[in-house]
Amino acid sequence: MLANITKNPIEFLKFCTVGTVNTGVDLAIFAVLSSWGFSLLVAHSLSYACGGLNSFLLNRTWTFKQGGYTSGQLTKFLLLNFLTLMITYVLMVGVYNYLAWPMLISKLVAIGGGLVLNFVGSRLWVFALV
């Protein structure tokens, strides 16, 4: 399925690499802000936003090789990520509650679903080739 969406399968590997880097950015900034005494809500919000900004910039320039004017890409990116967040939450809770799978497994299923949804949305909508 993914091979049909991307002309270059390396894109998906780059997308996964960027996701790993984003997680590192998020965790590092969260650790620093927490150690400086920021509240959990503020530390989480700021670190998540930094990871998200990193995701947008790296995916735009490195994964999908686009430059110049964003033409609404940031807005689309934010909407896609919000939609992915909602869907993965419902998937995680559904797997946990209805299949009675352990929470960690339910979370991993949701992450996998979110990865595919986010990649497809990024390739076909956010960073679609014009």
Cβ contact 109:48 at 8 Å: no
pLDDT by 10s per residue, the chain, length 130: 555 566 678 999 999 999 999 989 988 998 999 899 998 888 888 988 999 999 999 999 999 988 777 778 999 999 999 999 889 889 989 999 999 999 889 888 988 899 999 999 999 999 987 5
How many domains does one find in the chain?
A: 1
By C-alpha distance, which of 91, 78, 90 is closest to 118?
Answer: 78
Q: Please write the tens of the pLDDT for every residue from 26-62.
A: 889 989 998 999 988 888 889 889 999 999 999 999 9
Residue-range definition of the domain harbouring residue 8: 2-126
Please state at what angle helix 10-35 crosses helix 40-58, rounded to 10 degrees. Answer: 150
